[in-house]
Chain A
Amino acid sequence: MGSSFFGLTIAASGLNAAHASINTTANNVSNVNTTGYSKQQVNLVASSAIRSYQKFGSTGTGVTAESVTQMRDLYYDEKYWNNQSSLGLYTKKLYYMEQIQNYFSDGTLSSSTTASTGFSSVYAKMFNALDSLKSGAADLSKRAEFVGKAQELCTYFNSTSTRLSELQTSINDEIKSTVDQVNSISKRIAILNKQINIIEMEGGHANELRDQRAMLVDDLSEIVPVTAEEREVTNSNFPDMKTGATYYTVKINGQMLVDNYEYNSLDCKIREERYNQSDVDGLYDVVWKDSNATFDATASVMSGSLKAMFEVRDGNNNDNLTGRVTSTSSNTMTITNPSITDVNKMNMPEEGVIMVNSTQYKYSSFECTTDKDGNISSYTFVLDKPLTTDERGKISGKQLMVGDSVDYMGIPYYMNQMNEFLRSFTKAFNEIQQQGVDLYDNETGSFFVGKHEVLGTEQQFLESLVEKDEDGNVVGGVKFDNLSDTYYRLTASNVLVAKDIQHDPKKFATTTSIEGGVIDAYDLVDATLKLEKDTELFRGGGGDTFLQCIYADVTVDTQECEIFKDNYKNISNAITNQRMSISGVDEDEEALDLMKFQNAYNLSSKCISVMSEMYDRLILETGV
């Protein structure tokens, strides 16, 4: 016969278990709206039976609340993280692409606030004003109107370029704060790893800390692609014996970010040189703090919002200059067969970096050689540090690249497109102007000029790209450098109508000669009018197709972002639902649990009172 008071203990364990369960339910209900909270449950097991030396053998000893664990499926976490980085990529990209699109948008479509400020409107207005000049080439008000409209075109490009530069700066700032965020997340994950282990090595379950850690990884996955891995730590002497501790690692882009209690940091390093001609100064590169190795945010396997920022900030559609190194001297490198042969398309900064053999070299200036068609046949870069003989041998014949090639149509790409268009357009325009005379019968120079970045003087771009003999026949190419007065120095940010023409509209040409007072002659106006659409200026079309080309680029990318963002958002919703389906707290369920455990509690306490009556009977009334 077993102990008389055995039953009391069993009932007490039931009370205990029900109490624990109700507590857990209360915890679940209180956290029903807590972000990242996973539903917890008390794991009840029947206590081990003991032998009672009775005919029936052994009896159950009640219930044990073994542990409180969370409901979580790691499989869905991983799926969520993978999807989240793609979603982050396209969401961020869309955000920026819509801004770029907005900058280029021409107001005829939509709201009246932006009406007639876009390129096409400004461009058409300028040519209409020019057309008016045909019926009054010497009319000062008509001339002034045309000059005003032409300057409006310049201002359009100036302001669009400024807006793009500002966007580039703000993306750059965001890169910095995003990198800080990554660092803060990695640090917190490492701390959490330690705290979780402290609790769990004592046999507990660090449910709340685990929720927090998962949430941090959720956040991180939006920025960079994440893989997280958790291994159980076993006793090295007895591999089957678990210590309760776990080893948690987080990798971003395949590289270790958190290694259990240790973590790596990323660092933003300011570029000393620009990579593209129109880049703003002070762009960041992301490097690993410990090794100073570059973190390649634009690699093809990368995704996440960080990649989006880099792509939009640095994307040049792989249009940067490349070529093969054919000769070197102690401080120069010369390439031939360059990818850019047209001066109008040149987009390398005046001083920048070149990559050969995965090594960066800085150049402080460059020189170009043209052929007799005015196309560039070779570039010679003057390096800021001398090359060793060893290096010279290694780089000879290798492929060279200026700056970085980023396969996306980002801000540098649109800057280059604007520059290219402007250079073709202003060159054609100025060449017509340079044949003529103004109303004072003086020969005219360039109508569109560029303001020198440092000196503030106006550049006329008069340097010829071919050498001519006395009769004007082309006899060969020329050499020019980055400081020469070529259209390379014209950008969307510095273009303007020559100041003295703005002040005095008499000073531009409508004709080649006003000999004999024929001031209303307009032969050059006719020639210039052809530039509007008949002359091939940009991407195989006339000047009027510039915006159409840009639209094509920007809308294709924006639409792609929109579509992918929606897709990934849908997937994200599905995965979130599945995660919630497992981990979420359901109020009805908890209410049922409440009833269930209350009943259990009531019954257990009933058991005790029954027992009490039994002892009463046995002790006070039996055999007395």
Chain B
Amino acid sequence: MRVTNNMIMKNSAYNINGNKVAVDTANTQMTTQKKISKPSDDPVLAVRSLRLSASLSKINQYYEKNIPDAHSWLNVTETALQNMRKAITDMRTQCVNGANDTLTQEDRNTILAQLTTLQDQIYAEGNADYAGRTVFTGYRTNQNLVFTEDEADRFYTIDQRLTYADIETYRYYDKFVEVPSTQAEVLNNTINDVEQTEFNRVRLGYNKIDQLNQLSYTIGNNTVTYDVADATGTPPSVSATGGAGNLYIIENQTDWSDAMGGKTVGPDDMIFLKETGELVLGDTIASQLKSGRAVIDTQYDKEGFAKGELKPEYYFDCVDKTKDITADKSNQANWVQHEKFDDDGRELGYDIEYTISANQTLTVNLEASDVFNQDIQRDMKEMITAVTNAIAAHDKVDKIKSMKNETQFSTPDYQTKLDEWLKAAQKEADYVDYNLKKLYSTELGKVDDYLSEISLGITKLGCTEDQLNLTEDRMNNQQETVESLQSTNDDMDLSEIIISYTAAYTAYQSSLTAAGKLGQMTLLNYI
């Protein structure tokens, strides 16, 4: 074949270009350290890379966002529970102290001061939040567990179910001594003789109840209802439909004493005390309920909540009617329904689940009702009342004792009378001391239960944390695995690129050298 100079030139230009393409490819690989620069270079590799990136992106989401997030959430929860446990342990210490035989007035004052502080502290922990989201409130993370200030307008209708296990004995006192201050009072005033009565009672979740709407108890399949709305008389009372005895609805303890001539209740009767939110049971009915393993259903209205009280929606089925401004609260459109139990009485859970790995979720939250017993607060209040009463009684004794040393009462008349007063006051002090001791030792048992509930919560958290740690390790491994897979898929081995780059560059140089020699000489040089 005839070959012309231009052919040689053209062919070498073509070849040089071929080598240049190779150099460019190797150079791109070297600078990016990636095997391919566009999908069509190797579609299989490109698609695999896409898949791996997607997996990696997911793993990073789990490992770098969800898992640390879950950790923080659990930590906040655990801290709150630890604080709570400490508070309740302190409460227990006070129970032990109060149950002691010998208490000085100073001891009582200390107990009172301690309990008052603890009362504030205990539920403040319930409002613990993680990044502005309260942790014990289920899906209502923008709301607190307890009222943070007194809310006089809050109106709830609450459904509460109590059981025979909630029935406990409680002591009631009437006719406390009123210490006289003047000579005339010492001589003329009646000296009250304190009376103690002991009854069974059940306690509602709240005190200061506005109205009892419904009350019924069920033993086996037999339900006994009190048609509360039909109650008549002073105090209003209604007889049981399908059972014996009456239900009396009474404002407070003073009214009770006035209406019944002392704090008593007939054996088949019940007394509902609005102010303290108690249902006092007659002896017969109490033993019926206990032996029949009864369930007591109540529905009541409560308007106005105090700072530190638990919000009802976390414990009970209830309706928030605060926004309903009609006088009789009848505008249903403005009601907010809160459901805590389903139709079968099972508790509804609001689990906050974090996805911590593919197809694995972790429930991170504990709900208030799982760990805090609603009774803690009411127990605390009763303990405070008991110790306050004891302090007052002893104050009375001390006061009368000091009166005896005053000159104005130095005559025998007064002294004799004052001795009577002192005797009465001493009796009262003995009663309330007894009550204090009795109540505090009962509370000791309860507080242990509360503590174990909280400890159980902490243990659960620990288990969750363990599970989270395990998954975190696994995710860490997976992240490394996928990263290395992707690197194997996408990245060039550096030594490999250098070799291929050197090879391509050498080929390019030699083609340049060859082309440089071309065309230097033609026949014309020799003519």
Contacts and interface: CB of A to CB of B under 8 A. Distances in A.
B47 A131 contact: no
A138 B36 contact: no
Nearest to B318: A516
B492 to A, nearest CB: 12
Interface in B49-77: 49-51, 53-54, 57-58, 60-61, 65-66, 69-70, 73
A585 B522 CA distance: 13
Interface stretch (A2-10, A313-321, A474-482, A576-584): A576-584
B522 A110 contact: no
Contacts of A559: 40, 43
A621 B34 CA distance: 97
B5 A138 contact: no
B70 A135 contact: yes
A485 interface: no
A521 interface: yes
A558 B43 CA distance: 10
Nearest to A139: B133
Contacts of B527: 591, 594-595
Given A515-B337, A582-B2, 9 more contacts: A105-B39, A110-B32, A110-B37, A110-B38, A518-B138, A520-B140, A520-B352, A555-B39, A587-B524
A45 to B, nearest CB: 23
Size range of the chain B interface in the assembly: 35 or more
Contact of A584 (B4, B38, B352): B4
Contact of A586 (B2, B10, B139): B2
B47 A552 contact: yes
A98 B4 contact: no
B6 interface: yes
Contacts of B190: none
B49 A109 contact: yes
Nearest to A110: B37
A90 to B, nearest CB: 13
B499 interface: no
A67 interface: no
Contacts of A222: none
Contacts of A516: 140, 313, 336-339
A577 B7 contact: yes
B140 A519 contact: yes
Q: Which of B54, B140, B338 has the most CB of A within 10 A?
A: B54
Contacts of B172: none
A520 B133 contact: yes
Q: Which of A98, A136, A554 has the most CB of B within 10 A?
A: A136
Size range of the chain A interface in the assembly: 35 or more
Interface string B483-502: 00000001000000000000
B57 A135 contact: no
A192 B291 CA distance: 123
Contact of A518 (B54, B65, B350, B522): B350
B350 A558 contact: no
A271 B146 CA distance: 72
Contacts of A581: 1-4, 7
Given A555-B39, A555-B43, A588-B5, A135 B138 contact: no
Interface stretch (A118-126, A324-332, A400-408): A118-126
Q: Which of A101, A516, A587 has the most CB of B within 10 A?
A: A516
Contacts of A389: none
Contacts of B61: 128, 131-132
B507 interface: no
Interface in A21-49: 32-33
Contact of A108 (B50, B336, B339, B355): B50
A97 B6 CA distance: 34
Interface in A476-534: 511, 515-521, 529
A520 B453 CA distance: 26
Given A120-B54, A555-B39, A585-B6, A517 B143 contact: yes
Contacts of B58: 124, 128
A110 B42 CA distance: 12
Interface string B1-43: 1111111001100100000000000000000101011111001
A131 B38 CA distance: 31
Contacts of A105: 38-39
Interface stretch (A283-291, A376-384, A409-417, A543-551): A543-551
A134 interface: yes
A473 interface: no
A359 B236 CA distance: 95
Contacts of B523: 587-588, 591-592
Nearest to A529: B355
A131 to B, nearest CB: 6
21 contacts: A109-B34, A121-B53, A124-B58, A128-B57, A132-B66, A134-B355, A135-B70, A135-B73, A135-B364, A136-B133, A139-B133, A520-B352, A551-B50, A552-B47, A554-B39, A555-B43, A559-B40, A576-B10, A582-B2, A584-B4, A584-B7
B49 A108 contact: yes
Contacts of A552: 43, 47
Nearest to B132: A139
Contact of A135 (B1, B36, B66, B143): B66
B353 interface: yes
A562 interface: yes
